[in-house]
C-alpha cells in the first residue's frame, strides 16, 4: 500500500444487549466476520468512506447521544443507511493478524504511531509487494476489534478545538487544503520533524502486554558492584522506599553538581527491574543520553537497554530500560512504570508544556516519577517547601569536598577589552594559573557571535596557548570535545552548551560577561559545577567576570555557599 | 474502542499573576518564532542584503543565509558565473554583451529564460526538503515572499499575462498532499495580481528527479507533460511565466516551455525559487 493511498474509514452500529454500539471500520469484511462469531446478525453502516478524523468526530458525536441527523450535519457526512448481514470466516483474518503480531508486535507496542511510520517500518523489513491495502486494513481492523489496537486521528477534525493528538500542540495546527483526502484538513507543524500528523492520517496505539518485562532475556540479574558513599546510600534508600510505597507518585532528588546522581539511582533501578518494571530515563540533552548509555550498559549486564535520540539506530528496539531524549518520549503512551527525568530544569524541557505533557503521558496511570536536578526552579522549591512533593536533598559531593566558590570580578567593557593590546589583569592571572597547574579551562561566553572575536583576541594576548571555540551547530563539535578530553586543547571557548552533563577532570572555569541575560542562577551554578568533579582534582578556580553585578551572579554564589554550609552540617551529623 | 487522549489542562493554567504578565507581554511585545529555524525573532532588519528586509516571519540569522544569484550570471539560465569570468574574460560575452554559460551554448535552441530567487545552498536544501518532503506547508509563506522579490527585480518590466506552474503526477500528488509549485504560484499571484492558470498536466509518471543525472533527466522528462484541453484557447499568444521550486538542469522547465509554445504561447519565461549551482 505504501503512502500512495489513504486509508478510509466507515462508521457502523451494532446492537448488543439492546444498546447500540458505534464502531469504526477500515475494512467492513473483517467486521462482518467478527460479529458473526459474537452472534450478532446484522450491522448498520451509517457513513460512507471518510477520512479517519471525520469518522472519529462522527462517532464521538453519536456517542454523546445526539441524533443521527444532527451529527451528520455537524461533521458534514451525507446520510447513509445500509444494513448488512454478518458472514462466517473470521479465522483467516485472525491468523493473518497473529502472524503479523509475531513479527511486529514488539517494536510497536506501547507506542503512539502514525500509520505511515508503521508502514515504512514494515516496508523496510519486508518486500513492498506483500503489503496490499486490503491486508493492512484488515490487520488493523482485527487488532481494533480484539481491542489490542486503538485508533484515532493525528489531529482532531477541524470543527472541534484543534489539538494534535501526538504532541498535544494547539496553536501550531494549521488548516489547509489536502490532496490526499480531498478535503480541508489540519496539519500539526509542531511535531512535523517526526512525520506529518494530519486529520486524515490514522494514529495508532498498540496496547502493550500486561506484564511489562515479558520477553526479556531470562538470565538472572547480575548485581555489578559500585561504591556509594554513606550520604549517597541515604538517598538511594529514600528512592527505594519511594518505589515500594504505593501512595507516592512523585519524588524530587535534589543533589549538588558532582554528587553522583546517576550512581545513586542504580539501586532503585535494580529494585524496579526485580519488580518487573519498565523504566525510562529521560533527559532534555542528547549528550547526556549518549554519555549515560555506556555507563548503564556496564552497570546492567544482561538487561536490554535501548537508547533513543534523534538519529539513533535503536528506534525500534525493545528493552527493559529506555534512555531517551524528551523529544523521543513523545512516541510512547502509557508504557512505563517508572520514569526518571534527569536535568529536569534544562532547556528545552524546562517551561515546555508539550514535552512535559509527553513525559507525563509516557507514564502508566499508576506509574512513578523521579525528578533529578542540581538546580530546581523557584516553582519546584516552593512545591518542596509546601510539602506538595517528596524530596531528597544531598548537598555533598561524592568525594566529600566542597564546591569551589566563584570569585566575582568587575571587568571593563567587552568592546574595549577586544581592542586592548595587553590582557586584562584578572584574565591574565587566570590564564597563568591554568598554565602553571598544567590544567585546562572552559571559558563561557554569552552567544555564538562572541566566540570568534574572543578566540582571536586570546590568541593575540597569549600566543602560545591552544584555544578553540565550540557552539551548538558546530560541525566539528564532537571532535573538539574529544580533543579537549585528550588535553590537546587547553582553553575551550564555549556557549552554554557545555554547561551540564560534562565531566572533565582538572578543569577551571572563566565566565566572560557573566552579566548577560542567558547566565541566570541555575546556569551559573551548573557552570561552577564543572569544576573539581573527580577525586584526584577536587578543587579548582571559578571566576565570573562581568561589566556589572547582577542579581543572578550574587544568588548563584550564595546558592553554592549555602550548599557547602549544609554539606558541613551533614558531615558533622554523620560523624556523631 | 477509540483512543481518547486526555489533556491536563491544569498544566496550562498557570497562577494568575504570571498569566496576566505573559498576557500583557504578548499584547505589547508579541513574540514571534522564525518559521525557518523555530527560534524567537529578536530583530529582522539589520540584514546587509537590503531586498530581504521586507520578508516577514523569519529571523535575521536565516535572512543572512539566503544567497541571491548576483551579477555575473548566465543570461538564459541564471547560473552564477563569477568563477568562469576570471578564467576567460571576454570569450563568454556574445550577443551584445550577454553572458552565456557552457550548457546554454550547447542547447542554444532551447531559449530558456529563467530567473531564480536564491541559490540552492545547504541552508535552502534543508529548508526546501522540510517544505516538500516533510510537508511543513507554512514555509510557502516565506518562499512566496522571496519569489515576489525576485519577480520585482527581473520580471516587473516585462509584459507577463499569465502565471502557470509545473504540475505533479496525480500519484505523487496523493502521496505528498500538495503541489509545492502550485502553492508558491498561487501565493505569488495573490501578491502581484497576475492571474494564474492551471494549464499543464503530467501524463507520464517519472521517478524522482533528485536521484538522476542530466542525461537521464532529459530522457525521462520528454513527453511527460501535456497542455490541458480546456485551457488551450486561453494561452494562445500569451506571455507566460512558469513557477517551480528548484532549477537544476533545466530539463523540466525546458520541456514545459516547449509544450506551451507548441500550444500557441508567445513567450515563456520561468521563475524558480532556488537555483542549483554545482
**pLDDT tens digits, one per residue of B123-141:** 999 999 999 988 888 999 9
pLDDT > 90? residue B233: no
Of A108-112, A465-469, B218-222, least confident by mean pLDDT is B218-222
How many residues are listed for chain A in this entry?
Answer: 576
CB contact under 8 A, B3 and A165: yes
- A167 and A328 Cβ atoms separated by less than 8 Å: no
Average pLDDT, chain A: 87
- Nearest chain A alpha carbon to B38: A190
| The pLDDT value given to residue A215 | 44
At A287, the pLDDT band (50, 70, 90 cuts) reads confident
CB contact under 8 A, B7 and A168: yes
- Nearest chain B alpha carbon to A141: B1
Can you read off the three cell numbers belonging to residue A113?
Answer: 504511531
Average pLDDT, chain B: 83
- A49 and A27 Cβ atoms separated by less than 8 Å: no
Q: How far apart are CA B268 and CA B258, in angstroms?
A: 9
Exposed/middle/buried for A120, CB within 10 Å: 0-12, 13-18, 19+?
A: middle
Torsion sign across C-alpha atoms B241, B243, B244, B248 = positive
CB contact under 8 A, B137 and A193: no
Q: Is B118 helix (H, G, I), strand (E, B) or coil?
A: strand
Nearest to B99 by CA among B120, B69, B79: B79
pLDDT > 50? residue B11: no
Check residue A425 and report its DSSP letter.
H
Q: How far apart are CA B37 and CA B142, in angstroms?
A: 12
Q: Rounded mean pLDDT of B225-252?
A: 89
- Nearest chain B alpha carbon to A1: B175
Q: Rounded mean pLDDT of B241-264?
A: 90
Check residue B67 and report its DSSP letter.
-
| The pLDDT value given to residue A362 | 92
At B16, the pLDDT band (50, 70, 90 cuts) reads low
| The pLDDT value given to residue A263 | 84
Report the alpha-carbon angle A534-A539-A540, nearest 5: 110
Residues of A with CB under 8 A from a CB of B: 2-6, 24, 56, 59-60, 147, 150-152, 163, 165, 168, 174, 176-180, 187, 189, 192-193, 196, 198, 203, 205, 333, 353, 356-357, 360-361
In this prediction, what percent of chain A has a pLDDT beyond 70? 95
**Predicted ipTM > 0.90:** no
Q: How far apart are CA A6 and CA A24, in angstroms?
A: 16
At A113, the pLDDT band (50, 70, 90 cuts) reads very high
Which of B5, B19, B137, B183 to mutate to probe the A interface, most A CBs <10 Å?
B5
Beta strands in chain B (DSSP E): 93-94, 98-99, 114-119, 162-165, 200-202, 225-227, 239-247, 267-275
Confirm or reject contact between B179 and chain A (CB < 8 A). Answer: yes
- A204 and A115 Cβ atoms separated by less than 8 Å: yes
Q: Rounded mean pLDDT of A289-310?
A: 88
Residues of B in contact with A165 (CB under 8 A): 3, 5
| The pLDDT value given to residue B10 | 40
DSSP H helix total and E strand total for chain B: 12, 8
Q: How far apart are CA B257 and CA B272, in angstroms?
A: 14
Q: Rounded mean pLDDT of A434-461?
A: 91
Q: Is A547 helix (H, G, I), strand (E, B) or coil?
A: coil
How many C-beta atoms surround the C-beta of residue A415 within 10 A? 9
Name the minimum distance, in Å, from the CA of A565 to any CA of chain B. Answer: 33
Domain residues of chain B, as ranges?
A: 66-275
Can you read off the three cell numbers belonging to residue B244?
Answer: 517551480
| The pLDDT value given to residue B272 | 94
Q: What is the 3-state secondary structure (H, E, C) of A360-375?
A: HHHEEEEEEEEEEECC
Query: Which of B2, B136, B173 is facing A189, going by the closest CB pair?
Result: B136
Q: How far apart are CA A73 and CA A67, in angstroms?
A: 10
pLDDT tens track for A115-142: 888 888 888 887 555 677 888 899 999 9
Q: How far apart are CA A395 and CA A569, in angstroms?
A: 10
- B65 and B120 Cβ atoms separated by less than 8 Å: no
CB contact under 8 A, B5 and A165: yes
Residues of B in contact with A2 (CB under 8 A): 175
Beta strands in A33-133 (DSSP E): 42-45, 82-85, 112-114
- Nearest chain A alpha carbon to B175: A4
pLDDT tens track for A234-282: 888 899 899 988 888 899 999 998 888 888 888 899 888 888 889 999 9
| Range list of H helices, A79-170 | 91-108, 115-125, 133-145
In which region does residue A231 sit, left (phi positive, over 0), alpha (psi from -120 to 50) or beta (all else)? alpha
- Sorted by where each starts, the structural domains of chain A and their CATH numbers stand as 10-206 (no CATH), 230-394 (3.40.50.300), 407-573 (3.40.50.300)
- B76 and B100 Cβ atoms separated by less than 8 Å: yes
More confident residue, A350 or B184: B184
| The pLDDT value given to residue A526 | 92
pLDDT > 50? residue B35: yes
Q: Is A543 helix (H, G, I), strand (E, B) or coil?
A: strand
Residue with cell 533545466: B250
Exposed/middle/buried for A166, CB within 10 Å: 0-12, 13-18, 19+?
A: buried
pLDDT tens track for A504-542: 888 999 999 999 888 989 999 999 999 988 888 888 999
Q: Is B226 helix (H, G, I), strand (E, B) or coil?
A: strand
Q: How far apart are the first and last CA of chain A?
A: 72
Class of domain B66-275 (CATH, top level): alpha beta
| The pLDDT value given to residue A286 | 84
- A165 and A156 Cβ atoms separated by less than 8 Å: yes
Q: How far apart are CA B263 and CA B278, in angstroms?
A: 33
Amino acid at each position: 500500500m505504501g503512502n500512495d493511498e489513504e486509508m478510509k474509514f466507515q462508521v457502523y452500529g451494532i446492537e448488543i444487549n439492546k444498546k447500540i454500539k458505534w464502531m469504526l471500520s477500515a475494512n467492513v469484511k473483517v467486521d462482518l466476520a467478527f460479529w458473526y462469531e459474537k452472534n450478532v446478525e446484522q450491522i448498520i453502516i451509517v457513513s460512507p468512506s471518510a477520512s479517519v478524523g471525520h469518522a472519529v468526530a462522527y462517532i464521538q458525536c453519536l456517542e454523546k447521544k445526539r441524533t443521527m441527523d444532527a451529527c451528520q450535519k455537524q461533521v458534514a457526512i451525507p446520510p447513509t443507511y445500509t444494513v448488512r448481514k454478518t458472514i462466517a470466516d473470521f479465522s483467516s483474518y485472525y491468523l493473518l493478524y497473529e502472524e503479523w503480531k509475531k513479527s511486529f508486535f514488539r517494536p510497536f507496542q506501547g507506542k503512539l504511531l502514525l500509520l505511515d511510520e508503521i508502514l515504512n517500518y514494515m516496508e523496510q523489513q519486508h518486500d513492498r509487494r506483500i503489503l496490499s491495502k486490503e491486508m493492512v486494513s484488515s490487520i488493523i481492523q482485527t487488532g481494533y476489534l480484539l481491542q489490542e489496537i486503538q485508533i484515532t486521528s493525528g489531529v482532531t477534525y477541524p470543527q472541534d478545538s484543534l489539538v494534535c493528538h501526538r504532541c498535544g500542540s494547539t496553536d501550531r495546527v494549521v488548516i489547509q487544503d489536502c490532496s490526499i483526502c480531498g478535503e480541508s484538513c489540519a496539519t500539526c507543524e509542531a511535531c512535523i520533524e517526526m512525520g506529518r500528523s494530519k486529520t486524515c492520517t490514522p494514529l495508532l496505539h498498540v496496547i502493550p502486554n500486561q506484564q511489562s518485562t515479558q520477553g526479556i532475556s531470562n538470565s538472572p540479574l547480575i548485581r555489578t558492584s559500585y561504591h556509594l558513599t554513606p550520604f549517597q546510600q541515604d538517598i538511594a534508600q529514600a528512592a527505594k522506599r519511594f518505589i515500594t510505597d504505593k501512595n507516592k507518585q512523585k519524588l524530587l532528588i535534589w543533589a549538588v553538581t558532582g554528587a553522583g546522581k546517576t550512581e545513586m539511582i542504580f539501586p532503585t533501578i535494580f529494585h524496579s527491574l526485580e519488580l518487573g518494571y519498565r523504566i525510562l530515563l529521560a533527559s532534555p540533552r542528547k549528550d547526556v543520553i549518549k554519555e549515560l548509555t555506556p555507563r548503564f550498559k556496564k552497570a546492567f549486564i544482561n538487561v536490554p537497554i535501548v537508547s533513543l535520540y534523534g538519529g539513533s539506530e535503536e528506534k525500534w528496539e525493545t528493552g527493559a530500560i529506555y534512555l531517551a531524549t524528551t523529544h523521543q518520549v513523545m512516541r510512547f503512551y502509557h508504557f512505563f512504570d517508572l520514569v526518571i527525568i534527569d536535568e529536569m530544569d534544562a532547556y528545552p524541557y524546562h517551561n515546555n508544556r508539550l514535552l512535559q505533557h509527553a513525559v507525563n503521558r509516557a507514564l502508566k496511570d499508576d506509574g512513578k516519577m523521579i525528578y533529578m536536578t542540581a538546580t530546581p526552579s523557584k516553582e519546584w522549591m516552593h512545591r518542596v517547601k509546601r510539602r506538595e512533593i517528596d524530596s531528597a536533598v544531598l548537598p555533598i559531593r561524592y568525594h566529600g569536598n566542597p564546591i569551589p566558590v566563584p570569585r566575582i570580578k568587575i571587568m571593563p567593557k567587552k568592546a574595549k577589552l577586544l581592542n586592548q593590546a595587553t590582557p586584562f589583569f584578572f584574565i591574565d592571572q587566570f590564564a597563568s594559573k591554568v598554565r602553571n597547574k598544567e590544567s585546562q579551562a572552559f571559558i563561557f561566553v554569552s552567544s555564538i557571535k562572541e566566540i570568534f572575536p574572543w578566540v582571536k583576541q586570546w590568541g593575540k594576548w597569549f600566543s602560545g596557548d591552544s584555544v578553540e571555540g565550540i557552539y551548538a551547530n558546530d560541525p566539528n563539535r564532537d571532535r573538539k570535545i574529544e580533543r579537549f578530553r585528550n588535553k590537546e586543547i587547553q582553553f575551550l571557548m564555549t556557549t552554554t552548551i557545555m554547561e551540564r552533563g560534562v565531566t572533565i577532570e582538572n578543569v577551571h572555569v572563566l565566565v566572560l560577561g557573566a552579566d548577560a541575560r542567558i547566565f541566570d542562577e541555575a546556569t551559573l551554578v551548573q557552570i561552577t559545577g564543572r569544576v573539581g568533579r573527580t577525586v584526584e582534582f577536587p578543587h579548582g578556580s571559578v571566576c565570573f567576570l562581568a561589566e556589572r553585578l547582577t542579581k543572578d551572579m550574587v544568588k548563584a554564589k550564595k546558592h553554592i555557599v549555602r550548599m557547602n554550609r549544609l554539606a558541613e552540617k551533614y558531615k558533622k551529623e554523620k560523624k556523631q | 474502542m477509540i483512543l481518547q487522549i486526555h489533556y491536563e489542562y491544569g498544566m496550562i493554567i498557570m497562577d494568575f499573576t504570571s498569566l496576566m504578565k505573559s498576557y500583557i507581554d504578548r499584547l505589547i511585545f508579541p513574540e514571534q518564532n522564525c518559521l525557518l529555524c523555530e527560534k524567537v525573532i529578536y530583530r529582522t532588519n539589520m540584514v546587509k542584503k537590503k531586498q530581504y528586509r521586507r520578508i516577514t516571519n523569519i529571523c535575521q540569522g536565516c535572512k543572512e543565509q539566503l544567497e541571491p544569484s548576483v551579477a555575473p550570471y548566465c543570461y538564459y539560465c541564471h547560473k552564477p558565473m563569477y568563477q568562469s569570468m576570471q578564467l576567460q574574460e571576454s570569450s563568454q560575452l556574445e550577443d551584445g554583451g550577454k553572458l552565456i554559460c557552457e550548457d546554454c551554448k550547447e542547447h542554444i535552441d532551447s531559449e530558456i529564460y529563467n530567473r531564480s530567487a536564491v541559490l540552492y545552498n545547504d541552508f535552502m536544501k534543508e529548508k526546501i526538503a522540510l517544505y516538500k518532503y516533510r510537508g511543513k506547508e507554512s514555509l510557502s509563506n516565506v518562499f512566496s515572499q522571496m519569489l515576489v522579490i525576485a519577480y520585482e527585480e527581473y520580471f516587473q518590466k516585462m509584459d507577463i499575462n499569465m502565471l502557470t506552474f509545473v504540475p505533479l503526477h496525480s500519484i505523487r500528488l496523493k502521496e505528498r498532499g500538495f503541489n509545492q509549485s502550485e502553492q508558491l504560484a498561487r501565493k505569488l499571484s495573490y501578491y502581484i495580481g497576475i492571474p494564474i492558470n492551471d494549464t499543464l498536466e503530467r501524463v507520464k509518471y517519472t521517478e524522482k528527479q533528485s536521484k538522476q543525472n542530466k542525461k537521464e533527466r532529459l530522457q525521462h522528462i520528454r513527453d511527460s507533460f501535456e497542455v490541458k484541453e480546456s485551457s488551450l484557447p486561453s494561452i494562445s499568444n500569451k506571455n507566460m511565466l512558469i513557477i517551480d521550486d528548484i532549477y537544476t538542469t533545466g530539463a523540466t522547465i525546458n520541456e514545459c516551455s516547449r509544450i506551451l509554445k507548441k500550444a500557441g504561447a508567445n513567450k515563456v519565461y520561468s521563475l524558480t525559487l532556488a537555483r542549483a549551482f554545482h
